[in-house]
């Protein structure tokens, strides 16, 4: 069974125009805003988004530059083909993309390197999902800003993820990163590794799970 989140992802994966609409929705701006700020004609973007004009490689590259400047990391391949890592929000990374260099990236641009590593992982292992750790629930092994990835399991295969750290999608559309535990009533609990600093309940009892992805890839965020 797919969640509303999965259905939304299925839709934006179908056509470049749907993916462009999704990108614009992330930053909640109008086509007129993008025309005024970046010179991208409103009528051109509307034609791309509605699928009336085929989006070229050059057009995709222009959109990548615009959205990077607006704080969204996205690749040309994702816009054109729907492959690679899904778009993610970032802070202070557009300077690197605006002036590419062969030199080693400075420490403050580790997020860019992490994003590229995540893209490589997702492209190397089809069907995997990526999540950015957003809280302290799973410390000390996982910290906010770390990237994690795994392959989704459904139905009876969920049982194979018991006692593993997983990206978990619930049937109500919520998503968590927790350890999956089997409880005494033959249901599932989600527990954090760091109960003293969790933002919600340390244990979520008898949750209704749609699918889970045990973590098989972990990219640590550099600490300075």
Question: Which residues lie across from 57 on neighbouring strands?
Answer: none
More confident site: 209 or 195: 209
Residue 215 has pLDDT above 50, yes or no: yes
Which pLDDT score, from 0 to 100, does residue 102 have? 46
- For residue range 140-182, what is the model confidence (pLDDT) as tens digits? 899 988 889 999 899 999 999 999 999 999 998 888 999 999 9
Which pLDDT score, from 0 to 100, does residue 217 have? 92
Q: Provide the whole-model pTM.
A: 0.53
How many CA atoms are closer than 13 Å to the CA of 73, on its beta-carbon side?
Answer: 21
Would you say 199 and 137 are in contact if contact means Cβ atoms under 8 Å apart? Answer: yes
Would you say 120 and 138 are in contact if contact means Cβ atoms under 8 Å apart? Answer: no
The one-character DSSP state at 163 is: T
Which pLDDT score, from 0 to 100, does residue 94 have? 39
User: What's the full length of the chain, in residues?
Assistant: 224
What is the second-level CATH architecture of the domain 4-124? Orthogonal Bundle (1.10)
Domain map of the chain by residue range?
Answer: 4-124, 128-219
What is the second-level CATH architecture of the domain 128-219? Ribbon (2.10)
- For residue range 84-135, what is the model confidence (pLDDT) as tens digits? 777 876 544 333 344 444 444 444 456 777 777 887 887 778 778 888 888 8
Q: List the structure tokens of 27.
A: 């930053």
Q: List the structure tokens of 172.
A: 């109500």
Distance between terminal CA atoms of the chain?
A: 43
Which of the four pLDDT bands, split at 50, 70 and 90, describes residue 9? low
Instruction: Residue 161: name the closest of 184, 135, 189, 140 by CA.
Output: 189
- For residue range 26-48, what is the model confidence (pLDDT) as tens digits? 888 899 999 998 999 999 999 99
- For residue range 181-191, what is the model confidence (pLDDT) as tens digits? 999 988 999 99
CA dist 17 to 24, 78, 80, Å?
11, 12, 9
Instruction: Residue 64: name the closest of 54, 72, 56 by CA.
Output: 72
């Amino acid at each position: 069974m797919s969640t509303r989140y999965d259905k939304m992802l299925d839709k934006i994966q179908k056509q470049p125009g749907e993916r462009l609409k999704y990108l614009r929705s992330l930053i909640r701006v109008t086509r007129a805003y993008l025309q005024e700020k970046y010179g991208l004609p409103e009528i051109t973007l509307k034609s791309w988004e509605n699928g009336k004009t085929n989006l070229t490689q050059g057009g995709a590259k222009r959109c990548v530059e615009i959205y990077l400047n607006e704080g969204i990391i996205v690749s040309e391949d994702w816009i054109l083909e729907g492959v690679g890592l899904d778009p993610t929000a970032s802070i202070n990374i557009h300077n690197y993309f605006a002036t590419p260099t062969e030199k080693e990236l400075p420490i403050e641009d580790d997020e860019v390197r992490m994003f590229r590593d995540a893209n490589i992982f997702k492209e190397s292992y089809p069907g995997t999902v990526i999540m950015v750790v957003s809280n302290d629930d799973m410390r000390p092994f996982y910290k906010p800003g770390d990237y994690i990835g795994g392959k989704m399991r459904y139905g009876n295969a969920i049982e194979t993820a018991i006692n593993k750290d997983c990206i978990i999608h619930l049937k109500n559309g919520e998503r968590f990163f927790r350890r999956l535990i089997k409880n005494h009533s033959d249901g599932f609990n989600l527990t954090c590794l760091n109960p003293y600093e969790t933002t919600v309940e340390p244990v979520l009892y008898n949750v209704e799970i749609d699918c889970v992805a045990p973590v098989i890839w972990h990219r640590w965020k550099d600490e300075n």
